[in-house]
Amino acid sequence: MSYDFDLFVIGAGSGGIASARRAAEYGAKVGIVESGRLGGTCVNRGCVPKKLMVYASHFPALFEEARGYGWSPVESTLDWPHMIAAVNAEVTRLNGIYQRMLDGSKVEVFRGHGRLIDPHTIAIGEQTVTADKVLIAVGGKPVKPDFPGAEHTISSDDIFHLPEQPKHLVVLGGGYIGVEFACILKGMGSQVTQILRYTHILRGFDEDIRTEIQDAMERHGIRVVPNMRHIAIAKTDAGLEIAVKTADGEEDLILADAVSLAAIGRKPLLDDLGLDNTKVEIANGAIAVDHHSQTAEANIYAIGDCTDRINLTPVAINEGRAFSDTHFGNKPRQMNYENIATAVFSNPEAATVGLTEEEARAQYGDDAIKIYRSKFRPMYYVLPGKEEKTLMKLVVHQETDRVLGAHMVGDHAAEIIQGVAIAVKMGATKAQFDATVGIHPSSAEEFVTMR
């Protein structure tokens, strides 16, 4: 049977675009549909604008620290509208680049909502197209739970478009997105309260990372309210009143001008995709796929956050390229999910690769694991007289001497762990770390000098 396209991609986020362009490079005829801006979550309301705001939030501390090096005091205020406009202008610029890349790859771009009519037919408004293979890459959306006053909250998507800087931001939940925005707004001068359902932030990360960041956040002036069991929000003339009841029965009434659900989480964006017109199965709210990203419908595949495997932009990109390499490039391969490095752009920053200490002990047993840990004040903070700390940690399997995990909290953690991740991915041993000559003076050298 003849189809309009060899491949049609639903969703033009980072993963969908990467897959479409790779397939087109192999000679496939490719179409892609997107109802929003090109680039998906990462470019438009995630990694890129958030990291730009992280940079903006660092300047007040830099002005203060400069005085320790002899610079005169700096008096400066944040022009929030200017900063927001500059961030969104960069997002717009990147949208244009994505359009040019797709045009250059000869991928046909459709604007609108794509919906499956049958396994090979996609409707876009009144138009329909057919494809031999269909790739779903629609991403996710913020979760908005049901509690009294939830309609008064904003999501992480909305923070990039606030016309004014919140004087007091309340962040609900302890996920990495919420932690990042709590630190961003505090760095910019807002009062910040973070309300947790658990005792500590960043559930699933290494315990040392969780406690080190949370302790630092509190030292920096972020108020953390743990173990929330009930919450209600009411809008008043004075602002938003957030009534919180904790597990130990304590009650708290917080007045703020913005409440963010940034840390509650995200879920696959599966609304009105027409999946019921196919054999595609949903498991735990996500599209069910096998190791080849194939759904229960033989010609339909799915990648990225809509499959809820590891929800990171580089993972979605790699999944998409693996799909196209396999089906259009005659280079069959699978995505490898072991030892994927990740970072939290909090203050202090954190990054990690491999197993946490808890995961390693559960997998190999307590006696099989040896922990190397170093905590110190980096040289940079000596002259400013600040007690900022860096934490580095290696998780080692004693029998093989293999480094199973590397974790860091401190300045430039993401940049440092990216290099360490190569060694962990290759199966490096602690002896090989030790045999590596460090770069002195640097914080990174601590990874090869721990005893």
Domain ranges of the chain: 5-142+267-328, 150-264, 342-448
Domain 5-142+267-328 has CATH 2.30.30.280: no
Mean predicted confidence (pLDDT) in 422-442: 98
Question: Do residues 433 and 394 lie in contact, with contact meaning Cβ atoms separated by under 8 Å?
Answer: yes
- pLDDT computed for residue 145 by the predictor: 78
Mean predicted confidence (pLDDT) in 242-263: 89
Mean predicted confidence (pLDDT) in 18-27: 98
- pLDDT computed for residue 142 by the predictor: 85
Q: Sort strands 403-409 and 390-397 into parallel, antiparallel or unpaired.
A: antiparallel
Q: Which two tokens stand for residue 239?
A: 């602002």
Q: Residue 265 above 80 pLDDT?
A: no
**What are the pLDDT digits (tens) for 167-205?**
999 999 999 999 999 999 999 999 999 999 999 999 999
Q: What is the pTM of this model?
A: 0.95
Point out the least confidently predicted range of 262-266, 325-329, 361-365. Answer: 262-266
Split at pLDDT 50, 70, 90, the class of 263 is low
The superfamily in CATH containing domain 150-264 is: FAD/NAD(P)-binding domain (3.50.50.60)
DSSP 3-state percent helix, strand, coil across the chain (nearest 5): 35, 25, 35
- pLDDT computed for residue 259 by the predictor: 87
Mean predicted confidence (pLDDT) in 19-28: 98
Q: Residue 16 above 70 pLDDT?
A: yes
Give the three-state DSSP class for 51: helix
- pLDDT computed for residue 319 by the predictor: 98
Q: How far, in Å, are 26, 207, 376, 390, 392 from residue 447 at the CA level?
A: 42, 19, 12, 12, 7
Mean pLDDT for the chain overall: 96
Q: What are the backbone angles phi and psi of residue 372, rounded to the nearest 5°? A: -110, 130
**What are the pLDDT digits (tens) for 385-410?**
999 999 999 999 999 999 999 999 99
Split at pLDDT 50, 70, 90, the class of 144 is confident
- pLDDT computed for residue 262 by the predictor: 57
Question: Do residues 19 and 321 lie in contact, with contact meaning Cβ atoms separated by under 8 Å?
Answer: yes
Q: Residue 266 above 90 pLDDT?
A: no
In 103-197, beta strands by DSSP E:
108-111, 114-118, 121-124, 127-136, 140-142, 168-172, 191-195
Q: How far, in Å, are 115, 195, 213 from residue 222 at the CA level?
A: 44, 11, 11
Domain 5-142+267-328 matches domain 342-448 at the CATH topology level: no
Percent of the chain with pLDDT over 70: 99
- pLDDT computed for residue 155 by the predictor: 86
Length of the chain, in residues = 451
d(CA 155, CA 420): 34
Q: How far, in Å, are 81, 103, 238, 298 from residue 20 at the CA level?
A: 36, 11, 50, 19
- Which CATH architecture is the domain 342-448 placed in? 2-Layer Sandwich (3.30)
Roughly how many angstroms between the first and final C-alpha of the chain, as a whole number? 65
Q: Which two tokens stand for residue 256?
A: 């703020």
**What are the pLDDT digits (tens) for 289-338?**
999 999 999 999 999 999 999 999 999 999 999 999 999 999 999 999 99
Split at pLDDT 50, 70, 90, the class of 143 is confident
Pick 173 or 437 by higher pLDDT. 437
Split at pLDDT 50, 70, 90, the class of 156 is confident
Split at pLDDT 50, 70, 90, the class of 121 is very high
Catalytic site residue 440? yes
Split at pLDDT 50, 70, 90, the class of 264 is low
Cα dihedral sign, 57-381-412-72: positive
